[in-house]
Amino acid sequence: MDLHSWRFRLVDGPHSWAARRRERRRGWLLRCFPDLAEMSVLDLGGRLSSWQRAPVRPKRLHVVNLEPAGGLVPDWAQVDQADACDLPAHLTLGRYDLVFSNSVLEHVGGHERRLRFAETVHALADAHWIQTPYRYFPVEPHWILPGMQFLPVPARVALARRWPLGHTPVRERTDIEHAVLWTELLSQAEMRHYFPRSRLVVERLAGLPKSLIAIRGAVAPARRPVPSLSHW
């Protein structure tokens, strides 16, 4: 068995350790928003398939992603290919009960675009759940490599090219550079800047902060969450 296959067993597989942690996080989302099944939800950067597998789905779901939609879209959902930092005018006219985003903010491309992403969140709903990996967790979550996020770009590119536990094995240097440069983990100070009126909740693994969630409008109080491996 090659090393990359261990990523599927540990992280990406439907019965992996990380998959079980993701299910526990869904339960926490439902505790914060117990009326989710009656809500309209805008998912920025997500995938329809993740909601189709969920035990509880929104009454109305709108997914916006840079990738084109694939497969059939059920009547309770809408999928658009668009940039969450620069939505087309016709997508800014609606209002939603909740804006949801998971592990997207670190990929939008710099401070200015993160500000625009946050503006989209604030403009389209009064409530939100925005999650992103924490920069200072000791293991970089996309490549599962300790300390990678603290290295200079050439070193990160060299490691990403050879490290077997990345999400998708990539050999072309330009593709690797693209992936590295479009991955910028955030600090607590940055999240508070983008979501100043939200409660910033820290998810922990082995006692260490692993990811950050900006929550606003939760019906139930946001308790300390269970440990999460959602990025792994």
pLDDT at 24: 73
pLDDT at 53: 87
**What is the tens place of the pLDDT at every residue in 5-61?**
666 666 666 666 566 666 777 888 999 999 999 999 999 999 999 899 888 999 999
Fold of the CATH domain 22-142+186-232: Rossmann fold (3.40.50)
* Report field, pTM of the whole predicted structure over 0.85: yes
Confidence of residue 163 (pLDDT cuts 50, 70, 90): confident
Domain ranges of the chain: 22-142+186-232, 146-182
With contact defined as beta carbons under 8 Å apart, do 98 and 42 qualify? yes
